[in-house]
Homo-oligomer: A and B are copies of this chain.
Amino acid sequence: MDAAPVASFDLSPPSGTRDFLPDEVIARDRVIRTIKDVFERYGFGPLETPAFERIEILTGKYGDEGDKLIFKILKRGEQAATGEADYALRYDLTVPLARVVANNRHKLGAIWKRYHIAPVWRADRPAKGRFREFYQCDIDVVGAKGPIADAEVLLAMSEALVACKLETFTIKLNSRKVLRGLLEAYAIAPEHQKLTLIELDKLDKEEVPAILARLEAAGVSERSRALLQEDLATKDTAKIRARVATVPLGAEGLREVDTLAELVGTPNIVFEPFLARGLDYYTGCVFEFGAPGLGSSIASGGRYDELVGMFSNRRVPACGGSLGIERILMLLEEREEATQASTARVLVTIFDKESRVRALRTARRLREAGIATEVFVGDGELGKQLKYAASRSIPLATIVGPDEVAKQLVTIKDLRVGQQENVPDAELETAIGRL
C-alpha cells in the first residue's frame, strides 16, 4: 500500500454476498446460457421481475422464520424517519410468479410456460455455500393440469443438467398422495400427519431410530410406528405399493407416479415412496434429482395446484422445479481453476508513440475479422507489454517496429510456446487464424 487508508471502510462485499470478477462471471454466464438455451428449446420463455416487491406481497408467505429473513427497504423522503418499510427484496421467484400471473391474466393466456433465473435475497446467517444473495433457477408450467406438463418440466430439467455436463443423476419420484395414502394405511391419526411428514423429510439426513423416537414422543401410536418401521427397514417397494393401494388416495397417487415415469421414459427414474419434499404446498407428484457426487438435491420440484393462485382468487394448476444453480456453479468451478484471463486472443503492442494510430487500425482489422483483440493501453516498453499479455493469458501478441514497417511485415509472438514469426501485413488475419 502507498499509505494508510483514508477511512476505515470495510471494502469487502456485504456479508453473505459476493463480487464476481470477470473469470467467474464468464464461467457463470456460460452455465446460465446453457440452461436458458435448453429451456427455450422446450418453449419456456424468460420472465424478469423487479428486485423488490411491495412488502405486503412478500410477508406471510414463508412462515414466521422465513419472514424474519426478508430484507426490508425503508420508506423515503419525509417518511424515512418513521423507520417503516414499504418494499422488500424478493425472497424467492415463486411469489413474484404468482403476482405476475394474477396481474397479467389475459395477456398470458390459459397456459403459460416460464423460466426465471435471477438473484434472490435472504438474511440468513452466512455459511460455507450459503449466501444472502444467490441465484435461483425456476421453471414452471402454469394453467395445465395434466401429467404432460410435469413430464416436460422433468425432461427440461434433466436435459439442462446434462447440457451442464452433470449427467450421472437419479430422479426420485413420488406423489404427495402416495405419502398421504401411506399415513392412512399406517393408521396415523390426522393430528400427527403433518409432524410425521416433517420427520420423513429428514430421512436422508437422520437415522430411522431418532425419527421414530420423536414420533413416539409426539404420541404416534405403537402400531403405526411398527408398520412404518417395517417399511423403512425392508424398503420392499412391491409390499409398500400394495399397502398404499389399499387407500383410494394412495392408489391415485401410484397412478400419477406410474404415468409420469412412463411419460418421462428414462431409466434413471425411481419410485421413492417416502420422498416428502419439505415444502407443504405440493399437491401431486414430487421429485428430486440427486447423485452421490452431486448432493442429494441438485434439483427438485413437483406439482402445486394451490400456490400460484394465491393472488388470483382462483385455483391455478401449476407444476415446476428448481435447479440448484449455485450448487451446479460450485461443482463446475471446482473443475476449473480461476485465472484473470482476458477475453482477447491477441494483444496489439505499441512500439512507440508514432505507431499508436497504426496499432489501433491493426486492432480494428482483427476485430472486423472476428478476432477478439486488446490494444495495450498502459505505459511501458515491449517487455512490459508482453508481460501484461502473459498475466492475462492472451496467447498472441503483434509487434510492429521500424524494421517491420520498412518491410510491411508484422511479427506475431505466440506466448504459449515462446516462438515468433514474421508475416506480410496484409496476411495478418489469416496468419492469426491459423495459430
- Chain A residues in contact with chain B, CB under 8 A? 1-7, 9-14, 17-26, 28-29, 40-54, 56-57, 68-69, 71-74, 76-77, 80-85, 87, 89, 99-100, 102-104, 107-111, 113-114, 119, 121, 123, 133, 141, 143-149, 151-152, 155, 159, 262-265, 311, 313-314, 340, 342-344, 347, 350, 356-357, 359-361, 364, 367, 370-379, 388, 391-392, 394
Cβ–Cβ contact B74 & A47, under 8 A = no
Residue among B25, B144, B155, B394 making CB contact with A364, cutoff 8 Å: B155
Interface of A is mostly: mixed
Cβ–Cβ contact A76 & B68, under 8 A = yes
Closest to A361 in B: B265
- B-chain residues with CB within 8 Å of residue A51 when the two chains form the complex: 17, 51, 89, 119, 121, 133
Cβ–Cβ contact A45 & B19, under 8 A = no
5 residue pairs bridging A and B, Cβ less than 8 Å apart: A13-B53, A17-B52, A42-B367, A73-B74, A152-B360
- B-chain residues with CB within 8 Å of residue A103 when the two chains form the complex: 11-12, 19
Residue among B14, B54, B80, B364 making CB contact with A52, cutoff 8 Å: B14
The docked-state distance in angstroms from the alpha carbon of A47 to that of B121 is 19
Task: Decide: A77 near B83, CB < 8 A? Known: A45-B342, A340-B107, A372-B43.
Answer: no
- B-chain residues with CB within 8 Å of residue A159 when the two chains form the complex: 367
Cβ–Cβ contact A42 & B374, under 8 A = yes
Cβ–Cβ contact B378 & A14, under 8 A = no
Cβ–Cβ contact B48 & A20, under 8 A = yes
Residue among B56, B123, B146, B360 making CB contact with A9, cutoff 8 Å: B56
Cβ–Cβ contact B377 & A113, under 8 A = yes
Cβ–Cβ contact B72 & A73, under 8 A = yes
The docked-state distance in angstroms from the alpha carbon of A12 to that of B262 is 41
Task: Decide: A372 near B89, CB < 8 A? Known: A54-B10, A103-B19, A104-B19.
Answer: no
- B-chain residues with CB within 8 Å of residue A109 when the two chains form the complex: 340, 388, 391-392
The docked-state distance in angstroms from the alpha carbon of A376 to that of B141 is 11
Cβ–Cβ contact B77 & A48, under 8 A = no
* Closest chain B CB from A177 CB (angstroms): 20
* Closest chain B CB from A237 CB (angstroms): 22
* Closest chain B CB from A158 CB (angstroms): 11
Cβ–Cβ contact A83 & B74, under 8 A = yes
Cβ–Cβ contact A313 & B42, under 8 A = no
